Structure 1
Amino acid sequence: MNNSLIWDTSLIRRYDQPGPRYTSYPTAVQFTGDFDQSLYNKAVASRDPSKPLSLYFHIPFCDTVCYYCGCNKIVTKHRSKAEPYLELLIQEMAMQSELFGRHAPVQQLHLGGGTPTFLNDDQMKQLMHAAEKYFRLVHDDDSDYSIEIDPREADWSTMGALRELGFNRISLGVQDFDVRVQTAVNRIQPISLTEDLIDASRALNFKSINLDLIYGLPFQSVSSFMNTVEKVIQLHPDRLSVFNYAHLPHRFKPQRRINSNDLPSPAEKLRMMEETTARLLDAGYVYIGMDHFALPDDDLAMAQEEGVLHRNFQGYTTHGHCDLIAMGVSSISQVGNVFAQNFPDMDNYTQRINNGQLPTYRGLQSTDEDMMRSHVIRRLICDFKLDFHSLENDLDINFLDTFRPELEQLKVMQEDGLLELDEQSLKVLPRGRLLIRNICMVFDQYLKAQTEQRFSRVI
């Protein structure tokens, strides 16, 4: 794949608006509280029982709050709270296993949070042994068993314990190495902690390391953030996620502790991302899309080259063929055309589990129209192109007739140099790759009715 990008500041400013990240389509904004649990059960009953699975476990606890965070979390110093939650997770596993059986291989497993390493080694072992009991975990070269790690909450011993349990990918939260920025967001994290865990991961033969960065945090400048980027390049992670900080204090209470006057200007944020993108490409990283970068020999880059990259609630993935079972508060499962989300609060989650019920509080059954548009958006966001003939075979439609209004709307983007469009295909051009969310939004039939700002800005 041609990995060239052209940063056009005037175009980016014109198109820089809030928009979905399309980890699903329809997005979670469309989920409804009157969702019928039987729809999920029917989707499970109708699936091929040998179809591979992806498991997700949400561990919501954090020892301290990071002021920028918009995740579903429980901030507590009481480590004892992990044990009863773990028991609930295991009960939920048992209920899901009763529905799915143990025939399907689990090719992907992910622990997110919160802070998954809030669990101690024994609790992590208890969780994974329960997963082994209720599902058919597969430990081979094709399996991806990953975990998000706060470097303040782990050491070499932790990494050894995780490796023994079968984890082979890690994601480390860095955000920024600048001490002034770290202080402003209440996340003091010396670079030595990150270096130690990377050294441990390589010594223990973890096959992939991802680092998360955030630009737009208080007291960041172009020069200070580029210092962080240079240090990250020296660490040579396999993957990088470089996220735009969305300051939404009306939605996320911890963000109210951030003084908006300390935030970099929109113009400076754009320069941060421009210089970061250029520097990472110069260092040999491939732009996967949507703020994600990877080394050319990483599975994500190779999957994109082969046209089999996928996107779901865990971001870009090579396991789009798996049904997703998500467990824990707020987590979202997808089985076939059905989405089901758990209660986000501990009280309702606990009550449902103790009543012997799956803790679903909202969801959605996608229509045929939704599935068609989801396929188009996914191929755009993963491949940066659409082949109309291929889509017609996949979807049994006449693409030009079905999407005539959208193709007409895209002509403005074609005139702006974001894409190339003819009767056979759509190709996103180097000027348009950073604005792929905008192009996908044209195919989103729900956005026109959206009145509240629920999404981050595209850059």
Structure 2
Amino acid sequence: MSVQQIDWDLALIQKYNYSGPRYTSYPTALEFSEDFGEQAFLQAVARYPERPLSLYVHIPFCHKLCYFCGCNKIVTRQQHKADQYLDALEQEIVHRAPLFAGRHVSQLHWGGGTPTYLNKAQISRLMKLLRENFQFNADAEISIEVDPREIELDVLDHLRAEGFNRLSMGVQDFNKEVQRLVNREQDEEFIFALLNHAREIGFTSTNIDLIYGLPKQTPESFAFTLKRVAELNPDRLSVFNYAHLPTIFCCSAQNQRC
């Protein structure tokens, strides 16, 4: 792979070189208020009837707890709980979708948790439900977050068959010691195979997530991670700082002992 020279705009870097909110959700969590009731919601829905829709579906389930995680998640191996969750999600979709009649979906994203916690039948059930209740553009961006420990290549094939065309993979770090300390040990070879297979079967965009500030990370170890990511050659790279919040998330307290 050839290395291209990059001309950095230092003025632009300095302009935005400060801590800001993580746009993993929008509006951010701090913007949510108990004052925003049903009437305010209905007014907001009706405000821009001509705009396309971007839908987000949260799948909160995980088989294992990652100690760096600050997301809304449920750690369980009881697969039937996903069916119960989909039952509730179906009620909400059927109830809310008519409010957006006539508007077309340009983007759909599944996040978590671990969206690939769902089995193939559950994935198909949810996609069928969404397509029956919303109008999708033919060129809609349909993306999903993937945990390389929680997916097989045939599941990736199934996702593509269901219409997914964008993939975001949570790698976080390639250093084995860092992975062990945050309870997220991964098969590096499979990560490469997964990303290559995604390209082969028609995923048009691939993203890798990294986190800096994890226990035992050093400039040298993170440089190694970046080197491996460059070899992966994803279309996008998302890099987040680790937020240590042991009073809010018990998993952060695990990292404090490292």
TM-score above 0.5, yes or no: yes
Task: Tell me the equivalent position of 1:240.
Answer: 237
Within the alignment, does 1:160 sit opposite 2:157 as a pair? yes
Q: Structure 1 pair 194/4, CA: closer, same or farther in 2 (3 Å)?
A: same
Q: How does 1:26-37 map to 2 (within 5 A)?
A: 27-37=28-38
Amino acid at match of 1:125: S
Q: Deviations over 1:349-373 (max 9, x none)?
A: xxxxxxxxxxxxxxxxxxxxxxxxx
Shift of 1:28: 3.1
TM alignment of 1:274-293, pairs within 5 A = none
The one-letter code sitting in structure 2 at the alignment partner of 1:86 is: L
Structure number with greater CO (CA < 8 Å, separation at least 6) is: 1
User: Matches of 1:246 and 1:204 in 2, distance apart?
Assistant: 35
- In structure 2, the CA distance between the partners of 1:107 and 1:46, relative to structure 1 (3 Å rule), is same
Letter in 1 for 2:168: S
Query: How far off its partner does 1:69 sit?
Result: 0.5
Secondary structure of the corresponding residue to residue 258 of structure 1: helix
Structure 1 equivalent of residue 116 of structure 2: 117
Q: Give 5+ residue unaligned stretches, structure 1.
A: 263-459
Residues 23 and 125 (structure 1), Cα distance of their counterparts in 2 relative to 1, 3 Å cut = closer
Provide the rounded CA distance (Å) in 1 between the counterparts of 2:63 and 2:104: 34
Name the SS of the counterpart of 1:153 in structure 2: coil
Alignment-derived partner of residue 180 in structure 1: 177
The structure-2 alpha-carbon separation of the partners of 1:195 and 1:168, relative to structure 1 and needing over 3 Å to count, comes to: same
Q: How does 1:418-429 map to 2 (within 5 A)?
A: none
Q: Is the 8 A contact 1:107 1:144 kept in 2?
A: yes
Partner of 1:96: 96
Larger radius of gyration: 1
Q: Deviations over 1:66-89 (max 9, x none)?
A: 000000101111111100101111
Q: Which residue of 1 aligns with 2:127?
A: 128
Q: Displacement of 1:5 after TM fit?
A: 4.3
Give the aligned partner of residue 231 of structure 1.
Answer: 228
- Tell me if structure 2 keeps the 8 A contact 1:139–1:166: no
Over the aligned positions, Cα root-mean-square deviation in angstroms equals 2.3
Gaps of at least 5 residues in structure 2 are 1-5
Structure 1 residue 244 displacement after superposition: 1.1
The alignment of Structure 1 onto Structure 2 pairs a total of residues equal to 251
Q: 1:4 aligns with which of 3, 8, 27?
A: 8
Alignment of 1:148 onto 2:139: no
Aligned equivalent of 1:41:
42
Query: What residue is the counterpart of 1:60 in the other structure?
Result: 60
In 1, Cα distance between equivalents of 2:51 and 2:26: 21
Deviation of 1:18 (Å): 5.2
Structure 1 partner of 2:87: 87
- How far apart, in 2, do the equivalents of 1:215 and 1:24 lie? 20
- Measured in 2, the distance between the counterparts of 1:60 and 1:24 equals 14
In structure 2, the partner of 1:137 is: 136
Match of 1:372 in 2: none
Find the counterpart in structure 2 of residue 376 from structure 1.
Answer: none
Q: Which residues of 2 match residues 314-329 of structure 1 at below 5 A?
A: none
Task: Give the letter aligned to residue 114 of structure 1.
Answer: G
Task: Indicate how the Cα distance of structure 1 residues 110 and 190 shifts in structure 2: closer, same or farther if over 3 A, else same.
Answer: same
SS in 1 for 2:95: helix
Structure 1 position 226, deviation (Å):
1.0
Partner SS, residue 156 of structure 2? helix
| SS at 1:218 equivalent | coil
CA–CA distance in 2 between the matches of 1:26 and 1:131?
22
- Classify 1:157/1:22 alpha carbon distance in 2 versus 1 (closer, same or farther; 3 Å): closer
Matched to 1:113, the amino acid is G
Q: Distance in 2 between matches of 1:124 and 1:24?
A: 22
Q: Alpha carbons of 1:114 and 1:23: their partners in 2 closer, same or farther (altered >3 Å)? A: closer
Matched residue type, 2:48: R
The DSSP-based 3-state class of the residue aligned with 2:138 is: coil
Does the residue aligned with 1:54 lie in a helix, a strand or coil?
A: strand
Once the 2 structures are TM-superposed, how far is the Cα of residue 207 of structure 1 from its aligned partner?
0.3
Quickly say closer, same or farther: Cα 1:190–1:148, change in 2 above 3 A. same
Q: How much identity, in percent, do the aligned residues show?
A: 48
State how far apart, in whole Å, the 1-side matches of 2:86 and 2:106 are: 22
Contact 1:131 1:137 in 2 (8 A): no
Indicate how the Cα distance of structure 1 residues 157 and 176 shifts in structure 2: closer, same or farther if over 3 A, else same: same
Whole-angstrom CA distance in 2 between matches of 1:180 and 1:126: 39
